[in-house]
Amino acid sequence: MSKHTFSIGGVHPHDSKISRGCPICPLPLAPTVYISVAQHIGAPSVPCVAVGDKVKVGQVIAEPGGFVSAYIHSSVSGTVKSIGPRPDLAGRPVTHIEIAVEGDEWAEGIDTSDTLVTEIPEDNKAIIEKIRQGGVVGLGGATFPTHVKLSPPPGSKCERVIINGCECEPYLTSDFRTLLEKGEQVVVGAAILAKVMGGVPCTIAIEENKPEAIAHIREVIAKLGYTGIEVMVMKMMYPQGGEKQLIDAVMHRQVGSGALPISVGAVVQNVATALAVYDAVQKGKPIVDNSVTVTGECFPNQANLLVRVGTPLRYILDYLGGIPAEAVKVISGGPMMGRAVSNLDAATVKGTGALLLLTEAQTRRAPESECIRCGRCADACPMGLEPFLLQKLSRSANVEALEANAAQDCIECGCCLYSCPANIPLLDWVRMGKGMAMGAIRARAAAAKAAAEAAKAAPVISSEVEKSKK
């Protein structure tokens, strides 16, 4: 069986898929949910409900705050208790809509049956509008609004849709279970995405450590009879699921610095996003829940749960028996790219895909020593960067050099840190350097915009002055 992978860098962490045998089970509703208005890249959504309002599951409770933004829907039925700032997963104050749960009544027009709908609507604009109204965002981690990604700029042409089923992060298994349990819906969602982009070919990429999913999705494609959809078997390599790395592996094309995947003719969507597209288009169901892997070597009750958006993390962990004494850290996501949770009373968002519990031994960093100039970090970097150089430039706050050496292209995958024998916290320093470089780029863009607006306004002001003289 031919296996594919990307051409630059990468590492081979143990996959540790210890929850792969756990079916996705619905989590009972929490007494209260806290739904953030900032669950996507772009402008936060604007609440459109008030304290005291009664809401149903799937009802819009916040509207997009800009073009790159998304609708937010109630994940429960009940009463809005408060609207205001509350710490998110990282501890930052973000506006949340608090809803006291009073049953499970769904909004009108949402099909909650298990009936598979395979006939795809003809009108592409109507499809994209349903995706927009459903608040669909990329569920592979980036949470970029999907309707925006499906509306490329003039002159851009999609040549292939890629569905990311790699799930290359260690421990995570929710996408794998989704492929096994919702494979038909994922394939229909993939067909919808391919149709919207002009009837282009579609590749569903799955890593080789998921043979059951590979076989099942191939059977589903054959059964449904969709043409132009294939399964591509990928080698186990991290970060295989990175957007640019996956395009390289599937299409053998490299996305340039600062460019978008559409620049090389690709549109990439995650497995869970394809399922959400199916739900929005075929069932009228917005994103109100998502599959969350709860796992860790120290956690006795491994699980893949279907969790309503806005559910407090503490409620999830308590449902599974609580946090074991040996667990010292909870990660939202996987061990490579996940972020430590600062507050267990924070609530899940659309992009929450996993909770990973780690022990003291797993989180303890070895003492840092001097760089031995082995070059392993550069060999491992999937973006072709030089992490050893970027960390030095970051330490000295050399913003111009950071930008010149493409710190802004770092995808924060952690391959450099994983491969460093000197235990230098490369990712931390490079992430800081990336922030500096991006800040400089944004400042220049803002200055250029202000200058353009000033130049545009200058003739008007001059004309008004001349009129006043007369």
DSSP tag of 452: H
- Cα-based distances in Å from 261 to 159, 282, 374, 404: 11, 27, 32, 22
Distance CA 401, CA 377 (A): 19
- Give the model's pLDDT for residue 457: 79
- Give the model's pLDDT for residue 455: 86
Phi, psi angles (nearest 5°) of residue 54: -90, 135
- Give the model's pLDDT for residue 462: 61
* pLDDT (tens digit per residue) in 103-122: 899 999 999 999 999 999 99
Residue with tokens 């969507």: 269
Q: Which of 186, 246, 191 is closest to 216 using CA atoms?
A: 186
- Give the model's pLDDT for residue 468: 64
- Give the model's pLDDT for residue 465: 54
Three-state DSSP class for 436?
helix
State both tokens at 409.
């292209």
State both tokens at 180.
């096994």
The reported pTM is 0.94
By the 8 A CB rule, do 58 and 110 touch?
A: yes
Q: What is the CATH number of domain 105-283?
A: 3.40.50.11540
Residue extents of the structural domains in the chain: 105-283, 365-470
DSSP letter string, 300-323: SS-EEEEEETT-BHHHHHHHTT--
Beta carbons within 8 Å of 396's beta carbon, 6+ residues apart? none
Number of Cβ within a 10 Å radius of residue 434? 22
- Give the model's pLDDT for residue 466: 63
- What is the average pLDDT value for the chain, to the nearest integer? 95
Angle at 19 between CA 15 and CA 21, to 5 degrees: 110
- Give the model's pLDDT for residue 458: 72
By the 8 A CB rule, do 287 and 281 touch?
A: no
Residue with tokens 């009228």: 284
- Give the model's pLDDT for residue 97: 98
Q: What is the pLDDT along the chain (470 residues), one digit of tens a residue?
A: 568 999 999 999 999 999 999 999 999 999 999 999 999 999 999 999 999 999 999 999 999 999 999 999 999 999 999 999 999 998 999 999 999 999 899 999 999 999 999 999 999 999 999 999 999 999 987 899 999 999 998 889 999 999 999 999 999 999 999 999 999 999 999 999 999 999 999 999 999 999 999 999 999 999 999 989 999 999 999 999 999 999 999 999 999 988 999 999 999 999 999 999 999 999 999 999 999 999 999 999 999 999 999 999 999 999 999 999 999 999 999 999 999 998 999 999 999 999 999 999 999 989 999 999 999 999 999 999 999 999 999 999 999 999 999 999 999 999 999 999 999 999 999 999 999 999 999 999 999 989 988 888 776 566 655 666 65
- Give the model's pLDDT for residue 467: 64
Alpha carbon of residue 463 to chain centroid: 50
